[in-house]
Chain A
Amino acid sequence: MSNEFYQLSVNGVAHEVRDAWAGESLLYVLRERLGLPGTKGACEQGECGSCTVLMDGEAVCACLVMAATAVEAEITTVEGLSSDGEPTDVQQAFVDAGGVQCGFCTPGLVVAVHHLLERTANPSELQIKEAISGNICRCTGYGRIFAAVKQARDNRLAM
């Protein structure tokens, strides 16, 4: 039951973490130990959403998950949203709609929007805003991000 080493399942791949300091967050372990720097950190306290990952299907802040407690959970990061390297519909919509400027908030937002659209096929404008109200963007003022989410939503509904 202790943590001399532990296993994490990330994007469908089992990883062994050895000799880690137990206080390391999932964010740190993903970025610095597992070679998955797509998940970003910007506040260390769950107030910006940049580090959003899916954990057993729930969107959570990786900075607030103690990595050694994330054993036996299925973790999905921005790198694992598609398996073939092709962009997902949400990723494509963010590019097309101008939802990306500096791009630091983008991976967390993309994960949060995937989570939203998988739960709620046809979210209203307010549902979209509430769902991403934990993801701070400092560049865009959110206008093009809303446009991207609506584009992804509408494309899915049209399929």
Chain B
Amino acid sequence: MTVINATTIDQVVSALREYPQARLVQGGTDVMVEVNLNRARVHDVISLRRVNELRRWHVDEESGTVRIGAGVPYAEMERAPLCLHVPALGEAARTVGAPQIRATGSLGGNLGTCSPAGDGLPVLSALDAVVHLRSADDARDVVVHDFMLGVKQNAKRADEVIVAITVPLLVGFQGYAKVGMRNAMVISAASACLVHDADNGNVRLAFGAVAPTIVRARAAEAWLAERVSLRNSLTLDGAIAREFGQLAAKECAPIDDHRSTADYRRHAVAVLAERLLLRAAEQQGRDE
């Protein structure tokens, strides 16, 4: 077992070529659990901890996007100014594990592990984020929906590293809600992210922990767009929100496990979607 402490992305991708079995480790909060619990025999490790390029983020006003380095810790997403640009990501970040986990955990790790309970992932899905990958040979961009393939399966090749994620700067409400069995430091039993893109007139909704991978509730989104004007303003009544939530829940495929039951998860996402939509309408009301 060899540990390579890279300092640049170039070093990372050339090390990946040299050690094709190597695991990439950013914060260590997933990989070290596997090592500590003897779940995986890790052979070689390329540490991204000291690759400063991965820890930067910036706003591109021209394209109206934020590019977030794959190693930016959740703790930074929770705080201003980043949480002001992407509020749903800030809310999701605040629910990730313990504060100590948020100090090192990152979107790169969330995407690399690709657990359906990853707290950042529903946000990336609802925002139609783009994942930027690099290898020694090439660089490519993959839309997050095409990146997440299944439980702990993603589209990253073994020779690639996730370098950044780009999400749009949007006008309109965005929020994240997560059900867990205690009031802090808990794995999601079900989660939801709702984004109102007021300029483009749509509402986007994604769920976590209710299917093998993140679910986009596209049928419910379309249903809502037919009934409610979503461009600029957002006005609706409680009945619409309730039906929206119930429709969206039908797009999930939850399971029974030791954290919850399929029935509860289906119910919970309906409630979360309804409440998020009501929050969106209320915020719109306040902003006007």
* Residue positions of A touching B, CB distance < 8 A: 1-3, 21-23, 25, 44-47, 49, 52, 58-61, 63-66, 68-73, 112, 130-131, 133-135
**Hey, which chain B residues are within 8 Å of A22, CB to CB?**
1-3, 45
Whether B99 lies near A112 (C-beta < 8 A) is yes
Could you tell me if B100 and A112 are in contact, using CB atoms closer than 8 angstroms?
yes
State in angstroms the CA–CA spacing of A131 and B4 once bound together. 33
Query: In the complex, what residue of chain B is closest to A116 when comparing beta carbons?
Result: B99
Q: Is the CB of B36 within 8 A of A45?
A: yes
B184 touches A69 (CB 8 A): no
CA separation between A8 and B184, bound complex, in Å?
32
Complex contact B2–A134 (CB within 8 A):
no
Is there contact, CB below 8 Å, between B99 and A134?
Answer: yes
Judge if B170 is at the interface, Cβ distance under 8 Å.
no
Q: Closest approach, in angstroms, between the C-beta of A5 and any C-beta of chain B?
A: 12
| CB pair A45 B37 closer than 8 Å | yes
* Residues B45 and A2 in contact, CB atoms below 8 Å apart: no
Residue ranges of B at the interface with A (Cβ–Cβ < 8 Å): 1-6, 11, 15, 25, 27-29, 31-33, 35-37, 42, 45, 47, 49-50, 75, 97-101, 103-104, 184-185
Tell me, in angstroms, the Cα distance from A157 to B36 when the chains sit together. 41
Q: Give the dominant DSSP class at A's interface.
A: loop
CB distance from A114 to the nearest CB of B (A): 13
With contacts A3-B2, A25-B36, A64-B104 known, is A130 near B184, CB below 8 A? Answer: yes
Chain B residues within an 8 Å CB radius of A68: 3, 5, 45, 47
- List the 4 closest A-B pairs by CB distance, nearest first: A134-B98, A69-B47, A133-B184, A44-B36
Please tell me if the beta carbons of A69 and B5 are within 8 angstroms of each other in the complex.
yes
Which of B5, B25, B42 has the most C-beta atoms of chain A within 10 angstroms of its own C-beta? B5
Contact partners of A49 in chain B: CB under 8 A: 98, 100
Other A-B pairs beyond A3-B2, A68-B45, 11, CB < 8 Å:
A2-B3, A22-B3, A25-B36, A46-B33, A59-B100, A61-B100, A61-B101, A64-B28, A69-B49, A72-B50, A133-B99
Contacts of B32 on A, CB cut-off 8 Å? 25, 63-66
Chain A residues within an 8 Å CB radius of B35:
23, 25, 66
Given A64-B28, A69-B25: A2 and B100 interface contact (C-beta under 8 Å): no
Q: Please measure, in the bound complex, the distance between the C-alpha atom of A72 and the C-alpha atom of B47, giving whole angstroms.
A: 13
Q: Which residues of B contact A69 (CB under 8 A)?
A: 3, 5, 25, 28, 45, 47, 49-50
- Between B35, B45, B100, the greatest number of chain A beta carbons within 10 A of the residue's beta carbon is seen for B100
Q: Tell me the smallest distance from the CB of A142 to a CB of chain B, in Å.
A: 12
Tell me the bound Cα distance from A67 to B172 in angstroms.
44
- Measured CB to CB, the closest approach of chain A to B191, in angstroms, equals 18
Residue of A nearest to B47 (CB): A69
Which residues from chain B contact A135 at a C-beta distance below 8 Å? 98
A residues in contact with B100, CB < 8 Å: 46, 49, 52, 59-61, 112, 134
| Residue in B closest to A71 when the chains form the complex, CB atoms | B5
- Minimal Cβ-Cβ distance residue in B for A68: B3
B23 to chain A, nearest CB (A): 10
Task: Write the nearest CB–CB distance from B36 to chain A, whole angstroms.
Answer: 4
Q: Knowing A46-B101, A63-B36, say if A133 contacts B185 (CB, 8 Å).
A: yes
Contacts of A25 in B (CB 8 A): 32, 35-36
Task: Please name all residues of chain B whose beta carbon is closer than 8 Å to the beta carbon of A71 when the two chains form the complex.
Answer: 5
B94 — nearest CB in chain A belongs to which residue?
A130
Question: Which of chain A's residues have a CB closer than 8 A to the CB of B101?
Answer: 46, 61, 64, 134
Enumerate chain B residues within 8 angstroms of A65, measured Cβ to Cβ: 28, 32, 104
Taking a contact as CB atoms closer than 8 A, the residue among B33, B45, B97 that contacts A134 in the complex is B97
Across-interface contacts of A112 in B (CB, < 8 A):
99-100
Contact partner of A46 (CB less than 8 A), chosen from B11, B75, B97, is B97
Cα distance A125–B101 in the bound complex, in angstroms: 21
Residues of A within 8 A of B31 (CB): 66
A1, A3, A46, A65 interface centre (most CB from chain B within 10 Å) = A46
Which residues of the partner chain B approach A58 to less than 8 Å between Cβ atoms? 75, 103-104
* CB <8 Å contact, B42 and A23: yes
Nearest CB of chain A from residue B226's CB, rounded to whole Å: 41
CB of A64 within 8 A of CB of B184, answer no
